[in-house]
Structure 1
Amino acid sequence: MLYPELFKSMEAVRWNMDTDIPWDDFDAAKLSDEQAYTIKMNAITEWAALPATEMFLRDNRGDSDFCAFMSIWFFEEQKHSLALIEYLRRFRPELVPSEEELHKVRFDFDPAPALETLMLHFCGEVRLNHWYRRASEWHTEPVIKAIYRIISQDEARHAGAYLRYMKRALVSRGSDWARQARLAFSKIGVLMASAHRTPQALHPTNLHVNKSLYPDDTVQCRLPTPGWLENWLDNQICFDNVWENKVSSRILHNLSLLMDSTFDTVQDLNRYRKSLLREAPALA
């Protein structure tokens, strides 16, 4: 089981919201209305860990080890939301999300293949780590800069944990399962490492997840300002091609190590995916 080791390692670096965030360093002159509003949107987005956890527990009922890890992931993701809300409560109380606004992002996700979802969330954590690092650079107020820096480190650790479960999938249940895992990881990897070619931000909270609710079935479209994410990325934190390439490179690097291959480009990964289909067309 991976859960006991992951629990121990993450417990050792867990931060305390009262003592590890420099609340006393707040400088009101360095927080604009524009910046404060984006904090509210991120606080609500992080709250969506609740329906994501419900999805993971439902779709991984046969994997108690992974479901136990969800207790860590869920706690830490909700803690991110709580830290951002606490910042607003202290310094911009008029922007604290209402319970109704938070509850609106809790809705059912359609069942999905567990391996694809695992890879999707690994990529999502890699991307979020980079988004928050960039957000920390964009903000000018010292306390929120520190909060984004702290939670970005959590997201990196979450990506590492998901990667551990991806590695386990390649060795735990025989060759057929390993081939399915390789195909699932490469398929989602091609998508998520190609964000610079798509108009939308490729993150789990920005993807459609419930056919019966379409098009009102992404987390982002249920926020008070549905189009805030693209504006935040393009015009505020300026998450440009340089940063997108950092995300893609990180995904490709980890998949190279995972698959014992070399993927310098998305095209390399796509060729690998196609080779898997040629070897076992039934997996398609």
Structure 2
Amino acid sequence: MLYPELFKSMESVRWNMAADIPWDDFDRSKLTDEQANTIKMNAITEWAALPATEMFLRDNREDSDFSAFMSVWFFEEQKHSLVLMEYLRRFMPELLPTEEELHRVRFEFDPAPAMETLMLHFCGEVRLNHWYRCAADWHTEPVIKAIYKIISQDEARHAGAYLRYMKRALGDQNQVSAAQARMAFSKIGVLMASAHRTPQALHPTNLHVNKDMFPNDTVQSKLPEPGWLERWLDTQIRFDKDWETKVSGRILHNLSLLMGTAFETVQDLNRYRKELVRNATSSGIILPAAN
């Protein structure tokens, strides 16, 4: 089991909201209303760990190890929402999200192949780590800069934990299951490392997850300002091509280590994916259903 080791490692570096956030360093003159509003949007977005956890537990009922790890992931992700709300409560209480605004992002996600979802969230954590690092650079107020740096480190650790479960899946003694996992990881990897080719921000909270609610079936569509994410990335924190290249590079680097094959570009990964599909088809392996 991975859960006991992951719990121990994350427990050893867990930060304390009272002791580790430099609340006394707050400087009102360095916080704009524009910046404060983005903090509210991120606080609500982080609250979406709740429906994501419900999804993970539903779709991984046969995997008690991973489901137990969700207790750690869920706690830490909800803590991100909480610390952002605490910042607003202390310094901009008029922007504190209401319970109704938080509850709006709790809706049911359609079932999806577990390995594809795992890879999607690994990439999401990598991307969020970089988003928050970029946001810390953009902000001018010292306390929120410190908060974003702290939670960005959590996101990196979460990515590392998901990577451990991905590695476990590739080592499955059931060769068909291992092959299906390899195909799922390469498929989602091609998508998530190609954000520069898409007009939308590629993160789990910005992808469609409930066909009956389409097109209002993304977490971002449930926010008070549904279009805020693209504006935050493009015109506020300016998550530009250089930052996006860092995200793609981390995804490709980790997949290279995971698959034992060097992927310098998304094209390399896509060629690898196509070869996996050809081999699976010739071997009679059932491919994951398209979703």
Tell me the TM-score range normalised by the shorter chain.
over 0.9
Tell me the amino acid that sits aligned with residue 238 of structure 2.
C
Residue aligning to 1:225:
225
Q: Distance in 1 between matches of 2:74 and 2:173?
A: 26
Q: Deviations over 1:261-282 (max 9, x none)?
A: 0000000000000001111114
- Aligned-pair identity (%): 80
Given that 1:277 and 1:283 are in contact with CA atoms closer than 8 Å, whether structure 2 keeps it comes out as no
Q: Secondary structure at the match of 2:217?
A: coil
Q: Distance in 2 between matches of 1:71 and 1:263?
A: 33
Q: Distance in 2 between matches of 1:173 and 1:51?
A: 31
Residue aligning to 2:103:
103
Q: Gapped runs of 5+ residues in structure 1? A: none
Tell me the amino acid that sits aligned with residue 69 of structure 1.
F
Residue aligning to 1:199:
199
Residue aligning to 1:3:
3
Q: CA deviation at 1:172?
A: 2.4
Q: Distance in 2 between matches of 1:183 and 1:72?
A: 28
> How many residues of Structure 1 are paired with residues of Structure 2 in the alignment?
284
Residue aligning to 1:283:
286
Q: Secondary structure at the match of 1:283?
A: coil
Residue aligning to 2:122:
122
Q: Secondary structure at the match of 2:54?
A: helix
Q: Distance in 2 between matches of 1:236 and 1:173?
A: 48
Q: CA deviation at 1:173?
A: 3.7
Q: Distance in 2 between matches of 1:22 and 1:280?
A: 54
Residue aligning to 1:29:
29
Matched, 1:272 2:272: yes
Provide TM-score, normalisation by structure 1: 0.99
Q: Deviations over 1:32-86 (max 9, x none)?
A: 0000000000000000000000000000000000000000000000000000000
Tell me the amino acid that sits aligned with residue 150 of structure 2.
I
Q: Distance in 1 between matches of 2:265 and 2:87?
A: 40
Q: CA deviation at 1:115?
A: 0.2
Q: Distance in 1 between matches of 2:21 and 2:173?
A: 43
Q: Gapped runs of 5+ residues in structure 2? A: none
Q: Distance in 2 between matches of 1:239 and 1:208?
A: 22
Provide TM-score, normalisation by structure 2: 0.97
Residue aligning to 1:161:
161
Q: Secondary structure at the match of 1:136?
A: helix
Tell me the amino acid that sits aligned with residue 275 of structure 1.
E
Matched, 1:152 2:155: no
Q: Deviations over 1:99-126 (max 9, x none)?
A: 0000000000000000000000000000
Q: Distance in 2 between matches of 1:232 and 1:56?
A: 28
Deviant stretches of 4+, over 6 Å:
none
Q: Distance in 2 between matches of 1:185 and 1:100?
A: 36
Q: Distance in 1 between matches of 2:213 and 2:266?
A: 32
Q: Distance in 2 between matches of 1:228 and 1:280?
A: 41
Residue aligning to 1:143:
143
Q: Distance in 1 between matches of 2:5 and 2:13?
A: 13
Alignment RMSD, CA only?
Answer: 0.6
